[in-house]
Amino acid sequence: DAGVIQSPRHEVTEMGQEVTLRCKPISGHDYLFWYRQTMMRGLELLIYFNNNVPIDDSGMPEDRFSAKMPNASFSTLKIQPSEPRDSAVYFCASSLQGYGYTFGSGTRLTVV
């Protein structure tokens, strides 16, 4: 298995622009998680899905953030409009029935 695949690996955008981060979970996994990592706050859970349904989005910082999972093999995290304080590394992870949480390599987002 190729593991959790995230794209792009790096993204540099201007403040105010829309940013879309993508994730392909491990095939067969039924949970998908989005995390953000910063020096200030460490690893924070933003949102997670079970069987493509959002279960808990209490970690999403603002309405500027939205996440979707249209099918079992794809999820997006969108920031619109982006701000410099959104600069961070965003990780996607997936698991099967609550075990084997596996992380992708992350997307490093820089908003200038």
Partner 1 sequence: GESVGLHLPTLSVQEGDNSIINCAYSNSASDYFIWYKQESGKGPQFIIDIRSNMDKRQGQRVTVLLNKTVKHLSLQIAATQPGDSAVYFCAEIYNQGGKLIFGQGTELSVKP
Q: Rule CB under 8 A: which residues touch partner 1?
A: 4, 31, 33, 35, 39-43, 45, 48, 50, 56, 91, 93, 95, 97-106
Which residue lies nearer to partner 1 by CB, 10 or 16? 10
Backbone torsion region of residue 37, taken as left when φ is above 0, otherwise alpha when ψ lies between -120 and 50, otherwise beta:
beta
Nearest to 21 by CA among 55, 83, 67, 59: 67
User: Cβ of residue 108: shortest distance to partner 1, in angstroms?
Assistant: 8
Stated length of the chain: 112
Which residue lies nearer to partner 1 by CB, 35 or 65? 35
Do 61 and 89 contact (CB within 8 A), yes or no?
no
User: Cβ of residue 97: shortest distance to partner 1, in angstroms?
Assistant: 6
User: Cβ of residue 43: shortest distance to partner 1, in angstroms?
Assistant: 4
Q: Give Cα 35 to chain centroid, integer Å.
A: 6
Which residue lies nearer to partner 1 by CB, 18 or 55? 55
Which residue lies nearer to partner 1 by CB, 18 or 85? 85
User: Cβ of residue 84: shortest distance to partner 1, in angstroms?
Assistant: 12
In whole angstroms, give the CA distance from residue 39 to residue 52: 30
- Residue 21 one-letter amino acid: L
